[in-house]
Amino acid sequence: MRIWKLNLYHHIFPYVANGKKLVDGRVWSKKRDYRKMKRGDKIIFTDLGSGKKATTTIDSVKHYKSVKDYLKKEGLKRCLPWVKSLAEGIGVYYGIADDWEERIRRGGIFAIRIHLDKK
């Protein structure tokens, strides 16, 4: 079992911490190879605003070529529980960082299916 450490923006963290966000989407990265994530691995998510932490267990990881496919197949409410439409959800991912559009085009997006560990 491997332990991964990932950060979340302050407005997203509570959805992981309360178990409502069941899929975390991560785009291709030189820094981390999400293909190496395995069922049973742990992710410690850190809230970038408060420093609070939440520990989850990975259920599975699936790769998608586009954010649209990712959100449609994984389910908008499982990925982004606060979002009201597919278009809004796509906008969330493309608005995270200036280089995300290129990174998604280059390597797609990984759906990391998680569940919150009981304390």
Q: What is the pLDDT of residues 24-38, one digit of tens each?
A: 999 888 888 999 999
Alpha carbons 13 and 10: distance in angstroms, whole number: 5
Return the closest-CA partner of residue 89 out of 102, 78, 103: 78
What is the domain partition of the chain in residue ranges?
3-116
Determine the pLDDT at residue 118: 85
- What digits encode the pLDDT tens for the residues 38-70? 999 999 999 999 999 999 999 999 999 999 999
Hey, what amino acid is at 38?
A: K
Determine the pLDDT at residue 102: 81
User: Coil, helix or strand for 39?
Assistant: coil
- What digits encode the pLDDT tens for the residues 72-93? 999 999 999 999 999 999 988 8
Alpha carbons 87 and 40: distance in angstroms, whole number: 32
**Residue 12 CB: number of other CB atoms within 10 A?**
21
Please state which CATH number belongs to domain 3-116.
2.30.130.30
pTM: 0.92
